[in-house]
């Protein structure tokens, strides 16, 4: 948030690509910590029916607040907001995807980010603050040209820009999750700087559910020790499914093993509960990252 110590007025907020509304949660936290007085969600925009339902339950708002697909919204329909936030789709930018990019009008899902710029041009009173969020890979050479054009458009519309890649683990959350933030401030109205890293005292284990259905555990019914430190175990009746675990690395936290049958490097990694969680990618859902948990004694 801008560096004024306390925001006195109720901030009118609109979000795009709203998902389940993590920015709204963050605003709620700022309110509870008395960094802002209050905020009012004027609208959100989401197309996924499950996300919409979750959003309404999590934030206790009516589905009528959902403006639907950003492509169908006209600037004239939007109520005035001080702040817009949009974490636009990352599939075509993420290194876990095909990297088709987000060139304007290219019809990739990630190019939907430009729709927010179209709407800034269309509304009669522009939002004072706009926050864009995406994967860290957006600052890679592959997307520099498009990102520069995106930023140029915002500057031409009167915004001063601040950008940085932040990692969740530097801000108290035990997950390695690097995300790009672009903060646009109209007419240079406020000074802004990104928050200094505060580190993280927590580990993956602190966030794991205590009661978990047996089906989510890897079976250890058949395992064999390769050497003192490495344990290799196979899934029952599946000779091809082999996990190899390094107990020393488990104790240190971080990546401590490999799922040898997994095709994707990212999801083949096995993590220690004593370290930080990985970023879960869309293709992780089919073949999830695994975590090693010490059995209660």
Ligand X SMILES: C[S@@+](CC[C@H](N)C(=O)[O-])C[C@H]1O[C@@H](n2cnc3c(N)ncnc32)[C@H](O)[C@@H]1O
Give the contact letters, 103-132, x = binds to ligand X (CB under 6 A), - = no. Answer: ---------x--------------------
Contacts of 181 (CB under 8 A, 6+ apart): 131, 132, 133, 163, 164, 165, 166, 194
**257 makes contact with ligand X (CB under 6 A):** no
Q: Which of residues 72-91 bind ligand X (CB under 6 A)?
A: 87, 89-90
Give least dist CB 288 to ligand X, A. 18
Q: Which stretch binds ligand X (CB under 6 A): 13-21, 31-39, 92-100, 156-164?
A: 13-21
H and E: helices and strands count for the chain: 6, 12
Question: Would you say 2 or 19 has its CB closer to ligand X?
Answer: 19
Contact call for residues 115 and 121 (beta carbons, < 8 A): no
Given candidates 7, 13, 20, 131, which one binds ligand X under the rule CB under 6 A? 20
Q: Characterize the bridge pairing of strands 83-86 and 129-135.
A: parallel
Give least dist CB 277 to ligand X, A. 17
Kindly name the residue from 7, 90, 256, 262 that is annotated as catalytic: 90
Contact call for residues 177 and 169 (beta carbons, < 8 A): yes
**21 makes contact with ligand X (CB under 6 A):** yes
Give least dist CB 90 to ligand X, A. 5
Cα 215 from chain centroid?
A: 27
Question: Would you say 47 or 157 has its CB closer to ligand X?
Answer: 47
**17 makes contact with ligand X (CB under 6 A):** yes
* Dihedral sign (CA 279, 284, 289, 295): positive
Given candidates 38, 48, 77, 248, which one binds ligand X under the rule CB under 6 A? 48
Please confirm, yes or no, whether 90 is among the known catalytic residues: yes
**45 makes contact with ligand X (CB under 6 A):** yes
Order of strands, sheet of 238-246, starting from the edge strand that comes earlier in the sequence: 222-225, 230-235, 238-246, 254-259, 269-272, 290-292
**51 makes contact with ligand X (CB under 6 A):** yes
Give least dist CB 20 to ligand X, A. 4
**284 makes contact with ligand X (CB under 6 A):** no
**22 makes contact with ligand X (CB under 6 A):** yes
Question: Would you say 178 or 235 has its CB closer to ligand X?
Answer: 178
Q: Which stretch binds ligand X (CB under 6 A): 69-77, 205-213, 224-232, 270-278?
A: 69-77
- Please provide the DSSP assignment of 237-263 as one string: TEEEEEEEEEHHHHHH-EEEEEETT-S
Tell me the Ramachandran region of residue 68: left when phi exceeds 0, alpha when psi lies from -120 to 50, beta otherwise: left
E-only strand ranges, 108-201: 129-135, 159-167, 178-186
**70 makes contact with ligand X (CB under 6 A):** yes
Closest CB to ligand X belongs to which residue? 19
Give rounded-to-5 percent helix, strand, coil for the chain: 30, 30, 40
Contact call for residues 270 and 243 (beta carbons, < 8 A): yes
Q: Which residues bind ligand X (CB under 6 A)?
A: 17-22, 45-48, 51, 69-71, 87, 89-90, 112
Active site positions, annotated: 90
């Amino acid at each position: 948030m801008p560096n004024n110590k306390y925001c006195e007025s109720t901030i009118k907020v609109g979000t795009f690509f709203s998902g389940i509304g993590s920015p709204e949660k963050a605003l709620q936290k700022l309110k509870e910590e008395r960094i802002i007085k209050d905020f009012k969600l004027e609208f959100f925009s989401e197309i996924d029916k499950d996300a919409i339902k979750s959003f309404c339950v999590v934030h206790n708002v009516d589905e009528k607040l959902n403006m639907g697909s950003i492509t169908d919204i006209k600037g004239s329909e939007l109520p005035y907001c001080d702040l817009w936030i949009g974490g636009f789709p990352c599939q075509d930018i993420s290194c876990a995807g095909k990297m088709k990019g987000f060139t304007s009008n290219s019809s990739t899902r990630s190019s939907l980010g430009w729709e927010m710029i179209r709407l800034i041009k269309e509304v009669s009173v522009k939002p004072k603050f706009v926050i864009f969020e995406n994967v860290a890979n957006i600052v890679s050479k592959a997307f520099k040209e498009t990102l520069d054009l995106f930023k140029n458009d915002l500057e031409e519309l009167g915004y001063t820009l601040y950008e940085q890649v932040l990692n969740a683990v530097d801000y108290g959350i035990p997950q390695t999750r690097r995300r790009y933030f672009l903060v646009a401030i109209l007419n240079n109205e406020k000074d802004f700087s990104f928050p200094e890293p505060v580190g993280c005292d927590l580990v993956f284990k602190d966030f794991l559910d205590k009661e978990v259905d047996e089906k989510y555990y890897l079976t250890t019914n058949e395992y064999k020790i390769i050497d003192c430190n490495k344990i290799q175990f196979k899934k029952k009746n599946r000779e091809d499914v082999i996990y190899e675990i390094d107990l020393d690395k488990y104790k240190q936290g971080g990546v401590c093993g490999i799922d040898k049958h997994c095709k994707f490097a990212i999801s083949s990694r096995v993590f220690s509960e004593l370290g930080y969680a990985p970023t879960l990618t869309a293709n992780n859902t089919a073949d999830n990252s695994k975590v090693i948990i010490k059995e209660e004694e």
